[in-house]
């Protein structure tokens, strides 16, 4: 019996040993990360890539594939993405599924290897503005990146500078663009494939554990908000709604819509990385200064001008380039002006003047006249009883009459002269003392 027990122990140990060997010998599925870089090259794409690369590094990915399909975008963002790819400690390959134009070419050049699908293309990196300073800087960036990855730097430079001529490749005066077959023939790309599955098979990752990085709901929302057309709509709606709030008494629907529209606008640009909180604070400071100018400090002077300047500065610098900023701001200005005119036409200015003028009880005991033809007052002088902002009260030979200033703010106890009467609206201006 003792010998039988010893035999059983050896047998069990043998079985466990065999299982252990099988476990070690079993193939382990490689972890491959797939990051789609589709759409405009912008700060949002750079942020999205950074999140994907951090996750791939944390999970010890064997390979990272960036799927490039873009018409281009912002050079600054393209350089940021290029730097992330170049500095990543693991292996990254770029797969151009459709096109990698302009800044998208720089993105692809940052990868260790470039593969292209049949029918895809890359190149045509024209700078905006088309100025020698920008051309020189971007040409050097393209050439240096290509050289770092073992590609022909002259071909990369020709994609930026139309003055570069390469025999049998591109003539002077044209920017270089390459089809997938041309890129492979020139050794600028490492291969071309009919589809993505064929590409994975070529790399030996057909059965790999492919982890696809997807945009979060917040990132998709921010991408929608930063669309130029949506930005124009939100900014215009916000400004018109706040003006409507000034015309319509009480804080109601108009004010809520205005605040919500501007909050959506700024949140999108903050999430995408276009701006920091400093620009938001500058915008709010501008609104506050304008409110102080209207409701606290009479007239229109330094405070109001500073507020408008702060708002324009915050909006100008929140956009990625000056041409986009001027285009969007011009469109917002036109739409806001049209919207304000429509608001005034439907609601008038009575509510607004009522909010900024001095409220006082009008009774006959205090000298007010309920109904009178004031045309005989034209040319007469009197003294202001209250401050005109621009509406207020003036005394004409013992009669207190509602008047409106012709030129804005007039202090109390100022001698004024009636320059015009329109129905019951008496318009005055300060009388110059001899």
Judged by DSSP in three states, 394 sits in strand
Distance (Å, whole) CA 156 – CA 158: 5
Q: What is the pLDDT of residues 384-408, one digit of tens each?
A: 998 887 788 899 888 888 888 887 7
Does residue 26 carry a pLDDT above 50? Answer: no
- Helices 75-87 and 43-58: crossing angle in degrees, nearest 10, is 10
Please determine, for residue 1, whether its predicted confidence score (pLDDT) is greater than 80. Answer: no
Phi-psi region of 413 (alpha: psi -120 to 50; beta: other; left: phi over 0): left
Interval 248-270 mean pLDDT: 79
CATH of 12-16+23-214, one of 3.90.226.10, 3.40.50.1390, 3.40.50.10280, 3.90.230.10: 3.90.226.10
What are the φ and ψ backbone dihedral angles of 95, each rounded to 5 degrees? -120, 110
- pLDDT tops 60 at residue 14: no
Q: What does the pLDDT read at residue 151? A: 93
Confidence of residue 17 (pLDDT cuts 50, 70, 90): low
Instruction: Using pLDDT thresholds of 50, 70 and 90, give the confidence band for residue 16.
Output: low
CB-CB neighbours of 4 under 10 Å: 7
Q: What is the mean pLDDT of the chain?
A: 81
- Sorted by where each begins, the domain ranges of the chain are 12-16+23-214, 218-354, 357-430
**pLDDT class of 269 with cuts at 50, 70, 90:** confident
Which of 115-124, 131-140, 220-229, 347-356 has the highest mean predicted lDDT (pLDDT)? 115-124
What whole-number distance in Å separates Cα of residue 111 and Cα of residue 64?
10
**Partners of 395 in the beta sheet?**
383, 400
pLDDT confidence of residue 298: 57
Pairing of the two strands 113-117 and 191-193: parallel
Three-state SS string across 73-117, please? ECHHHHHHHHHHHHHCCCCEEEEEEEEEECHHHHHHHCCCEEEEE
Model confidence at 98: pLDDT above 90: yes
How many beta carbons lie within 10 A of that of residue 37, not counting itself? 23
Q: Which of 234-243, 281-290, 340-349 has the lowest mean pLDDT?
A: 340-349
End-to-end CA gap in the chain: 136
Read off the pLDDT of residues 185-211 as tens digits, 9 standing for 90 and up. Answer: 999 999 999 999 999 999 988 887 889
Please report which helix (H) or strand (E) contains residue 199, including its range: helix 196-203
Q: Is the pLDDT of residue 22 over 50?
A: no
Q: Is the domain covering 357-430 a CATH 2.40.50.140 domain? A: yes
Percent of the chain topping pLDDT 90:
31
User: What CA–CA distance (Å, rounded) separates 367 from 338?
Assistant: 42
Burial class (CB in 10 A: 0-12, 13-18, 19+), 183: buried
Q: What share of the chain in percent tops pLDDT 70? A: 82
Mean pLDDT across 285-290: 81
Q: What is the pLDDT averaged over residues 348-365? A: 48
Residue 231 has pLDDT above 70, yes or no: yes
Measured between alpha carbons, how far is 320 from 43 in angstroms, rounded to an integer? 9
| DSSP-based three-state secondary structure for 165 | coil
Give strand pairing partners of 63: 32
pLDDT beyond 70 at 373: no
Helix axes 302-318, 277-295, angle to 10 degrees: 160
Q: How many CB atoms lie within 10 A of CB 348?
A: 11
Q: Where is mean pLDDT largest: 13-22, 23-32, 163-172, 253-262? A: 163-172
What per-residue confidence (pLDDT) applies to 421? 85
- The rounded distance, in Å, linking the Cα atoms of 33 and 59 is 10
Q: What is the mean pLDDT of residues 80-92?
A: 94
| 3-class DSSP state of 314 | helix
């Amino acid at each position: 019996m003792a010998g039988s027990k010893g035999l059983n122990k050896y047998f069990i140990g043998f079985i466990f040993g065999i299982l252990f060997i099988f476990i070690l010998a079993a193939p382990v599925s490689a972890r491959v990360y797939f990051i789609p870089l589709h759409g405009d090259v912008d700060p949002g794409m750079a942020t999205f890539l950074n999140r994907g690369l951090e996750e791939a590094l944390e999970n010890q990915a064997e390979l990272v594939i960036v799927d490039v399909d873009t018409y281009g975008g912002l050079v600054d963002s393209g350089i940021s993405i290029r730097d992330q790819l170049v500095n990543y400690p693991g292996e990254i390959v770029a797969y151009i599924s459709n096109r990698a134009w302009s800044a998208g070419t720089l993105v692809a050049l940052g990868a260790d290897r470039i593969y292209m699908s049949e029918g895809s293309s890359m190149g045509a990196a024209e700078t905006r503005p088309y100025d020698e300073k920008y051309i020189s800087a971007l040409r050097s960036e393209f050439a240096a990146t290509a050289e770092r990855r073992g590609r022909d730097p002259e071909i990369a430079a020709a994609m930026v500078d139309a003055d570069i001529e390469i025999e049998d490749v591109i003539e002077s005066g044209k920017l270089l663009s390459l089809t997938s077959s041309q890129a492979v023939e020139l050794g600028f790309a490492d291969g071309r494939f009919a589809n993505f599955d064929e590409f994975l098979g070529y790399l030996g990752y057909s059965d790999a554990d492919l982890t696809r990085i997807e945009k979060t709901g917040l990132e998709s929302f921010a991408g929608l908000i930063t669309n130029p057309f949506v930005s124009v709509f939100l900014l215009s709606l916000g400004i018109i709604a706040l003006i409507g709030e000034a015309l319509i008494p009480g804080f109601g629907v108009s004010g809520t819509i205005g605040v919500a529209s501007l909050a959506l606008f700024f949140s999108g640009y903050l999430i995408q990385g276009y701006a920091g909180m400093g620009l938001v604070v500058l915008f709010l400071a501008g609104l506050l200064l304008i409110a102080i100018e209207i409701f606290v400090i009479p007239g229109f002077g330094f405070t109001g001008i500073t507020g408008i300047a702060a708002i324009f500065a915050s909006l100008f610098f929140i956009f990625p380039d000056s041409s986009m900023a001027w285009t969007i701001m011009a469109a917002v200005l036109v739409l806001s002006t049209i919207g304000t005119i429509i608001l005034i036409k439907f609601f008038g200015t009575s509510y607004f003047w009522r909010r900024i003028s001095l409220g006082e009880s009008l009774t006959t005991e205090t000298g007010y006249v309920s109904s009178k033809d004031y045309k005989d007052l034209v040319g007469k002088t009197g003294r202001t009883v209250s401050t005109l902002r621009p509406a207020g009260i003036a005394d004409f030979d013992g009669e207190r009459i509602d008047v409106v200033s012709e030129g804005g703010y007039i202090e109390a106890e100022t001698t004024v002269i009636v320059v015009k009467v329109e129905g019951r609206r008496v318009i005055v201006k300060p009388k110059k003392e001899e």
